[in-house]
Structure formats: structure tokens, C-alpha cells
Amino acid sequence: MWYKIIEITEWFGEMTERYRLVKDFNRAAKYSFIQGISPTLLEAKITRGESAYKHAFSKWMGGGFRIKALSGRPLERSELIEIGRVVLDNEELTRKMVSLGWDTLEVHSNKGFRGAKWALKEHANIGGFLN
């Protein structure tokens, strides 16, 4: 019976860490926008994700990490990719996201229907040599 309590505690601990990462991302993005470092305000949230990108640690119904760019206009595909590269080029962040159960990175603008998606496991250098 006690092992069930430990499992529940671990599950809540992991969920807290996932929400903390989203909150920290949003705080940093907001600060960057206010300071004029970033030309658009970004906001992250947890979504379902793409089922084709699932991996062994994916969270059921919560594998997507969506970044919404509050740009006031539809963004070009190149702009969406540029925003995604900020996360994907940070191997430590990508690995942390995979370990916390995210499998999909999504980037969308708040206008229009265009978006971009990436499988995080393809950008985490899993099974390769660490730099």
C-alpha cells in the first residue's frame, strides 16, 4: 500500500515540475518582450501533442508544448521555425522536456492558422554522444 502513496507523490512532483517549466518560460518570455529583447510576446501552454511523435516517457493527453506568438498578425513559416529553433537549439532544455513527458514542440501565432511542429526526441541527441 505504501508504494502507491510514493507513486502518487512522484506523479504530483513531476506534474509540478512540468508546470514550473511552463511558468518559468512564460515569465522569461514576458521579461524579454518588456525589455525589448524579443519583438513579440510568447506564451507557452501544455497541449495534447502529436501522437506520431510519442516516445516511452510521453504523457498521455499532455505531450505537447505549444508556444503561441502574440504578434498581432499571421507569422511566416520562417518566423515560426525561428521561434522553434530557440528551444530546439538548447539541448539541455530539449532533454529536460523529453524527460518530463513532452514529445511535441508546437509554435503558432495568435492570428491565422499556420503552425509548425517538431518531435522533441529527434532534437535531444538521445543515444548519441554528449557534448
Number of domains the chain contains: 1
- Exposed (0-12), middle (13-18) or buried (19+): which is 94, by Cβ within 10 Å? buried
Task: State which residues form the domain around 11.
Answer: 2-123
Residue 131 lies in a domain: no
Contacts of 48 (CB under 8 A, 6+ apart): 61, 62, 63, 64
From 117, 85, 86, select the one nearest 103 (Cα to Cα). Answer: 117
Residue 20 lies in a domain: yes
Tens of pLDDT, residue by residue over 64-94, are 999 999 988 889 999 999 999 999 999 999 9
Residue 41 lies in a domain: yes
Q: Which residues of the chain have pLDDT under 50?
A: 130
Residue 58 lies in a domain: yes
Residue 110 lies in a domain: yes
Residue 102 lies in a domain: yes
